[in-house]
Chains A and B, each alone.
Chain A
Amino acid sequence: MTEKWAAFTRQVRKNRLLFLMATAVLVWYAVFRYVPYWWNIIAFKDFQWGLGFQNSPWIGLGNFRALFRDPEFYKVLRNTLVISGLKLAVSFPFPILLAILLNEVFHAAFRKTVQTVIFIPFFISWVIYASILSAILSPSSGMLNFLISSLGGKPIYFLASEAWFRAILVISDLLKNSGYYTVIYLAALAGVDEEVYEAAICDGANLFQRIRHITLPGIAPVITILFILKLGQILTVDFEQVYILYNPMVYSVGDVIDTFNYRQGIQGGRFSYTTALGLFNSTIGFIMVLSSNWVLQKLTDNGLW
């Protein structure tokens, strides 16, 4: 022990400034990431601003009990899982398809143009994107509704329609973010040597066999990583997207954990209750990442670490 300690102090002395730099920034992590972790303790208290942390009474698991008895909680949990599941099923595989198709295109200029066009929306904020969407979907001045009414149909208020709202979330997510993931997959494919394709052709592999045995394995590690990350976020539907697009008329299908948390916590002042919900959320996400990483490592040798 003392020997280890001596070695450690010697190392610190030799790299004094380096250690100081790292420690100084670690202080930032302590204040802005670890102190909020510590504030999670109020999930076990009945926290009130007036009383402060010290004097707010402990109530054990009271907040969690209230949470798990709250029908609203099950509503938002179900909405979150359904929307996340739909996105995982639809907008997760879509960029993989785009990347495979782009990889088989002959004209480099065509590929480049498609990439450039579909890559942009990822970097535009949801507020701006929603504003653009409303130009299409608005019942009073949206293009789609002018089209519907000119065909003799009745205008639909998409964003206030329980039947349409989840579809809008999934489709807009797909349109906005597909390009980004496509570019990531294509970058992974750039690492596949063109000679592998040529060799496969010599051996008589057709296009579909090449996709199956070269292209897909080429992007498999990236698919794995992105899939693990997505699973970890299964209980966090993009707050910004839902918050901007939803309204009380679609709460029944569109209100998710994060938006519910915001309304109850920040607007309603139920700090302890929503901290309990947030803690539940983070813990599930953490467990999901660890376990899916573990399972995928066993199955495929690819993992996050």
Chain B
Amino acid sequence: MARPGFRKYLPAEKLFVVLAYGFLAVFAAACPFPFLNVLAKSFSPEFYIQQGKVWLWPVHPTLNGYEKILEAQGILLGFRNSLIVAVVGTTVNLVMSSLIAYPLSRRRLPLRRTYVTLVVFTMLFPTGIIPMYILVKSLGMINSMTSLILPYAITTFNMIIVKNYFQTVPDSLEESAFIDGAGELTILFRIFIPLSKPVLAAVGLFYLISNWNIFMPAVLFLTSPSKYTIQVVLRDILTQHMLEDQLPFDKGALMSKAGPEAIQAAVTIAAMIPVLAVYPFLQRYFTRGIMIGSVKG
């Protein structure tokens, strides 16, 4: 940035910049603080947590909390179910979104304006909870992983981002491909998708994270605990814990090594790992991908 050096600033400007640094530093430090507390708790014995001894560093570090996860069938199943939804769901999302983004991005598509209007309308007029529930139930998808994937195969907002990016691909490219005898699918998979990698990466990561985090549909549609995703499992652990918080507390019962608090902390950290793992990529592609794609088209 080629702005004048700090030294050339007026006193009031200097004060403003110093305050800006201070404010941002405090805010940025406050954000990860609770997270570090949970991380420390996940590696500490229950006893010390209940004593209020664990702040930002584990006390008498132990892996007990995490070992308890491996012993608990329900928690492991939750992770497995979430993984299925994330992997299968994101694949479906990307295929479906590209399949419609491509035709909608081409002016030669018959009824293009009508189709775009029909699609955009669904963004503006939300589907109610109850009608969605009735639909899923009448299709016989209640209590199945399909109910978390099929009704959410396309997020219109994400699809529009892909479509807008596809629109920047010049017509001349596909025209020459047509002359070479390529079909629509070949053009989509051989020209458009390779050209749109940053946008598809960004949108793919968006889909991946929302699939891993999917919650309301899981609460609505899943009825048996063996189908629960990790988010719902954690919800159960959390509400159980909140409930106990309201009762007079018997701390003596929690002297065991990995109690509810330590296990909750361990599950919380474990459930965050996939998000943290893709976070560097997300950061890299977010501004590049989303911003290019959001340009009005």
- Same assembly: yes
Interface positions of A (Cβ within 8 A of B): 8, 11-12, 14-15, 17-19, 21-22, 24-26, 28-29, 31-40, 42, 98, 101-102, 104-106, 110, 113-114, 116-121, 123-128, 130-136, 138-141, 143, 146, 157, 159-160, 175, 179, 183, 186-187, 190, 194, 197-198, 201, 206-208, 232, 236, 239-240, 243-244, 247, 249, 258, 261-262, 265-266, 271, 274-275, 278-279, 281-283, 285-286, 289-290, 305
Give CA–CA (A25, B246) in the complex, Å. Answer: 50
User: Cβ of A207 and Cβ of B31 under 8 Å apart?
Assistant: no
Q: Point out the residue from A104, A140, A249 that lies within 8 Å of B249, measured CB to CB.
A: A140
User: Cβ of B37 and Cβ of A201 under 8 Å apart?
Assistant: no
User: Cβ of A278 and Cβ of B130 under 8 Å apart?
Assistant: yes
Q: Point out the residue from A138, A143, A157, A179 that lies within 8 Å of B55, measured CB to CB.
A: A143
Taking CB atoms, residues of chain B closer than 8 Å to A102 are: 20, 24
User: Cβ of B246 and Cβ of A265 under 8 Å apart?
Assistant: no
Assuming A29-B118, A136-B37, A278-B131, is B126 touching A157 (CB within 8 A)? no
Assuming A32-B151, A123-B282, is B108 touching A11 (CB within 8 A)? yes
User: Cβ of B238 and Cβ of A25 under 8 Å apart?
Assistant: no
- Measured CB to CB, the nearest residue on chain A to B19 is A101
B88 proximal to A (CB < 8 A): no
Q: From residue B29, how far is it (CB to closest CB) to chain A in Å?
A: 8
Q: Point out the residue from A126, A140, A197, A282 that lies within 8 Å of B3, measured CB to CB.
A: A197
Residues 4 to 43 of chain B near chain A (Cβ within 8 Å): 4, 6, 9-10, 12-13, 16-17, 20-21, 23-25, 27-28, 30-32, 34-35, 37-38, 41
Give CA–CA (A210, B185) in the complex, Å. Answer: 50
User: Cβ of B150 and Cβ of A32 under 8 Å apart?
Assistant: yes
User: Cβ of B27 and Cβ of A36 under 8 Å apart?
Assistant: no
Taking CB atoms, residues of chain A closer than 8 Å to B286 are: 183
Q: From residue B207, how far is it (CB to closest CB) to chain A in Å?
A: 12
Assuming A25-B96, A117-B32, is B183 touching A17 (CB within 8 A)? yes
| Closest 5 A/B residue pairs (Cβ) | A278-B128, A39-B131, A125-B213, A22-B103, A25-B100
Q: Point out the residue from A38, A179, A271, A275 that lies within 8 Å of B31, measured CB to CB.
A: A179
Residues 224 to 283 of chain B near chain A (Cβ within 8 Å): 231-232, 234-235, 237-238, 241-242, 244-246, 249, 251, 261, 264-265, 267-268, 271-272, 275-276, 279, 282-283
For the A-B complex, the count of residue pairs with Cβ-Cβ distances under 8 Å equals 270
User: Cβ of B241 and Cβ of A134 under 8 Å apart?
Assistant: yes
Q: Point out the residue from B28, B108, B133, B213 that lies within 8 Å of A18, measured CB to CB.
A: B108
User: Cβ of A282 and Cβ of B128 under 8 Å apart?
Assistant: yes
B72 proximal to A (CB < 8 A): no
Q: From residue B160, how far is it (CB to closest CB) to chain A in Å?
A: 11
Cβ proximity bits B165-208 to A, threshold 8 Å, 1 near / 0 not? 00000000000000000011100000000000000000000000
Q: Point out the residue from A21, A119, A278 that lies within 8 Å of B103, measured CB to CB.
A: A21
Q: Point out the residue from B28, B35, B108 that lies within 8 Å of A132, measured CB to CB.
A: B35
Residues 110 to 157 of chain B near chain A (Cβ within 8 Å): 110-111, 115, 118-119, 122, 124-135, 150-151, 153-154
- Measured CB to CB, the nearest residue on chain A to B265 is A135
- Measured CB to CB, the nearest residue on chain A to B50 is A141
User: Cβ of B115 and Cβ of A18 under 8 Å apart?
Assistant: no
Q: From residue B3, how far is it (CB to closest CB) to chain A in Å?
A: 6
Taking CB atoms, residues of chain B closer than 8 Å to A36 are: 127-128, 131-132, 134-135
Assuming A232-B124, A275-B130, is B50 touching A140 (CB within 8 A)? yes
User: Cβ of B115 and Cβ of A22 under 8 Å apart?
Assistant: yes
User: Cβ of A12 and Cβ of B20 under 8 Å apart?
Assistant: no
Q: From residue B14, how far is it (CB to closest CB) to chain A in Å?
A: 9
Taking CB atoms, residues of chain B closer than 8 Å to A239 are: 216
Taking CB atoms, residues of chain B closer than 8 Å to A116 are: 283
Taking CB atoms, residues of chain B closer than 8 Å to A136 are: 34, 37
User: Cβ of B220 and Cβ of A266 under 8 Å apart?
Assistant: yes
Taking CB atoms, residues of chain A closer than 8 Å to B99 are: 21, 24-25
Apart from the given pairs A123-B209, A135-B37, A207-B13, 17 other A-B contacts in the complex at a CB distance below 8 Å: A15-B110, A19-B109, A26-B115, A31-B135, A40-B128, A104-B16, A124-B213, A124-B275, A131-B234, A136-B34, A136-B37, A140-B251, A143-B37, A159-B242, A190-B287, A201-B3, A208-B16
Q: Point out the residue from B20, B32, B104, B251 that lies within 8 Å of A105, measured CB to CB.
A: B20
- Measured CB to CB, the nearest residue on chain A to B183 is A17
- 14 residue pairs bridging A and B, Cβ less than 8 Å apart: A15-B108, A33-B127, A36-B132, A123-B209, A131-B237, A133-B34, A159-B242, A208-B16, A240-B215, A244-B235, A247-B242, A271-B130, A285-B124, A286-B124
